Amino acid sequence: MFEIKNLKASLADEDKQILKGMNLTIGDGEVHAIMGPNGSGKSTMSYVASGKPGYVVDEGEVLLDGVNLLDLDPAERAAAGLFLAFQYPVEIPGVGNMTFLRTAVNAQRKARGEEELNAAEFLKLVREKAKSLKIDADMLKRPVNVGFSGGEKKRNEILQMAMLEPKMCILDETDSGLDVDAMKLVSEGVNALRDGKRSFLVITHYQRLLDHIKPDVVHIMADGRIIKTGGPELALEVEHNGYADLLNEVA
Ligand SMILES: Nc1ncnc2c1ncn2[C@@H]1O[C@H](COP(=O)(O)OP(=O)(O)OP(=O)(O)O)[C@@H](O)[C@H]1O
Ligand SMILES: [Mg+2]
pLDDT at 251 over 80: no
CB 169 within 8 A of CB 136: no
pLDDT at 132 over 90: no
Percentage of the chain surpassing pLDDT 90? Answer: 88
4-19 confidence digits (pLDDT tens): 999 999 999 999 999 9
Distance 172 CA to ligand 2 centre (A): 7
pLDDT at 92 over 80: yes
How much is the average pLDDT of 115-131?
94
Domain total in the chain: 1
Helical (H) or strand (E) element with 150: helix 150-164
Q: Name the DSSP letter for residue 188.
A: H
Average pLDDT, the chain: 94
194-216 confidence digits (pLDDT tens): 999 999 999 999 998 999 999 99
Q: 99: closest CA among 161, 131, 144?
A: 144
Strand pairing class (199-203; 168-172):
parallel
Mutational test site, ligand 1, from 10, 42, 209, 223, max ligand atoms within 8 Å of CB: 42
Is the CB of 88 inside a 6 Å radius of any atom of ligand 1?
no
Distance 203 CA to ligand 1 centre (A): 14
Mutational test site, ligand 1, from 38, 84, 204, max ligand atoms within 8 Å of CB: 38
| CATH classification at residue 100 | 3.40.50.300
* pLDDT tier at 61, thresholds 50, 70, 90: very high
Range of the domain at 14: 2-250
Is the Cα dihedral 162, 163, 168, 171 positive or negative?
negative
How many Å apart are CA 131 and CA 46, to the nearest integer?
A: 28
Q: Name the DSSP letter for residue 197.
A: S
Rounded to 5 degrees, φ, ψ at 201 are -125, 115
Is the CB of 53 inside a 6 Å radius of any atom of ligand 1?
no
211-246 confidence digits (pLDDT tens): 999 999 999 999 999 999 999 999 999 999 999 988
Better pLDDT: 251 or 6: 6
What is the structure's pLDDT at 134? 85
134-185 confidence digits (pLDDT tens): 888 899 999 999 999 999 999 999 999 999 999 999 999 999 889 998 899 8
What is the structure's pLDDT at 249? 85
Least trusted range by pLDDT, from 26-30, 35-39, 93-97, 205-209: 205-209
